[in-house]
Chain A
């Protein structure tokens, strides 16, 4: 068993696509609009060297797929940053932080030392939180 795709709700798929590809440096894995499914757009992205795992950038549906109340609840959770988190790892948290910041990525936490390494946090345009961690290997390994 392997993880293939995990889903994030996004407000606007084009905006999300621009963020994940142009700011974060991810690549598009699939981008297909299906007219027979009411122009449903299946849009997935992942880091350049991880072709077998992707994040689905899913538009929040309205009725009849999702009732209006649920749509509102999802939007509220996203606005608060509680609808989902993507955890990323890197071998240079500070370097990535500086690059991403220079590209206008909005950070909620700057790089900080933790017991497990160093990490920082930021949000995508829909409010989803992302954490970027440089994992420190235990000294006795």
Chain B
């Protein structure tokens, strides 16, 4: 936990500049010179990558994911996502396996919870060993 990001506040260029101890203009210039892209583009890329991971690994809605990664509107999210991945967030999710296939739910959990919930014989009082 080297760095605790503020609650519901996603990093902005200002935060990066402050962390580096440089003015925003100087930071942006040096960042671009060193890494070949502006810090804004870098942050935007990280957000879209994070959104893609959430589309794959969760069943959160596209609108929820948009907010979770700190993008303002679903419209601009869809546009920038499509620019980077060639498909809309909804298409991206539909093209991959559902999140349930990605979630590595251990077999012991699947056995315990996947059991039929309604039984006619009385066995509710005995726990299942996981």
A: residues with CB less than 8 A from B are 4-5, 22-25, 27-34, 36-38, 40, 42, 47-49, 61, 63-68, 70, 88-92, 96, 99-100, 103, 132
Contacts and interface: CB of A to CB of B under 8 A. Distances in A.
Contacts of B3: 25, 48
A24 B4 contact: yes
A37 B128 contact: no
B58 A28 contact: yes
Interface of B: 1-8, 50, 54, 57-60, 68, 99-100, 102-105, 109-110, 112-115, 117, 119, 123-128, 130
B113 A49 contact: no
A66 B59 contact: no
Given A31-B60, A34-B105, A96-B4, 18 more contacts: A22-B8, A25-B7, A27-B50, A28-B54, A30-B103, A32-B59, A32-B103, A33-B59, A37-B113, A37-B114, A38-B114, A40-B113, A48-B3, A67-B126, A90-B1, A91-B2, A92-B2, A132-B1
Contacts of B104: 4-5, 30
